[in-house]
Amino acid sequence: MQGTKNKVLIVDDEANICELIRLYVEKEGYSAIIATDGAKAVEKFTEEKPDIVLLDIMLPVKDGWQVCREIRAVSDTPIIMLTAKGETFDKVLGLELGADDYIVKPFEPKELIARMKAVLRRAETRPAPQQESSGELVFDGLRISRETYEIYLDGKKIEMPPKEFELLYFLAKNKNKVYTRDQLLDEIWGYEFFGDSRTVDVHIKRIREKIESEGKNWQLKTVWGVGYKFEVSE
């Protein structure tokens, strides 16, 4: 890790907090990029391609939720949300948008660095999409391409963030096999987000909203008391 300097994008509208975090992360050997509003954050993310994002929720121009949404639409880069003490952090919204962790301000420098290292470590040990079979899965009216990360339903392209895609691809690749929430957390996320298996439920719900259609010989099925499977009837 020392040879390849991890890049941290720090997003907070308070310049003094940005500078403080910059000192912490640079002391640990990371390089820091700073953005003080949501629009700049998205811009810097695209330009700099950081390895991790520390993202405040209350931001001018675009709030942290919107920034998280826009990053997740194109990338799986780890995101740690920063939330002020007393702010209600909506865990379910965090799950839906694909944040990796959150930390409450004011925080201890050691805790922030420990969280960052843990999230980066998990991201590094996650298998890269290209390392898996880059094949195409085809079902009745549904085409899922690992190579291009594209999904088509009855010829129409379905937009899906990386985590939703990976979850659907994994279940479809292992059709008719039931997986528990913990197994899916382990396969797709490599750890438990907030120690909460609702991550999987939320992602399944969002996938269903996008791909469920009548009269197909497949469905994303809940196996009550166990978990989920992509069921295909021959």
The pLDDT of residue 175 is above 80: yes
pLDDT at residue 26, as a whole number: 94
Mean pLDDT of the chain: 85
Higher per-residue pLDDT: 35 or 92: 35
The pLDDT of residue 233 is above 50: yes
For residues 83-104, b (16+ Cβ closer than 10 Å) or e, as one string? beeeeebebeebbbbbbbbbbe
Residue 83 banded pLDDT, cuts 50, 70, 90: confident
The pLDDT of residue 47 is above 80: yes
Residue 85 banded pLDDT, cuts 50, 70, 90: low
Residues 80 and 53 sit within 8 Å (Cβ to Cβ): yes
pLDDT at residue 130, as a whole number: 42
Largest Cα–Cα distance of the chain, in whole Å? 61
The pLDDT of residue 215 is above 90: no
The stretch 60-81 carries a mean pLDDT of 90
Residues 33 and 57 sit within 8 Å (Cβ to Cβ): no
pTM: 0.62
pLDDT at residue 196, as a whole number: 64
The pLDDT of residue 168 is above 60: yes
Kindly list the structural domains of the chain, giving each domain's residue range(s) and its CATH number in brackets, ordered by start: 7-125 (3.40.50.2300), 130-232 (1.10.10.10)
3-class DSSP string for 117-179: HHHHHHHHHCCCHHHCCCCEEEECCEEEECCCCEEEECCEEECCCHHHHHHHHHHHHCCCCCE
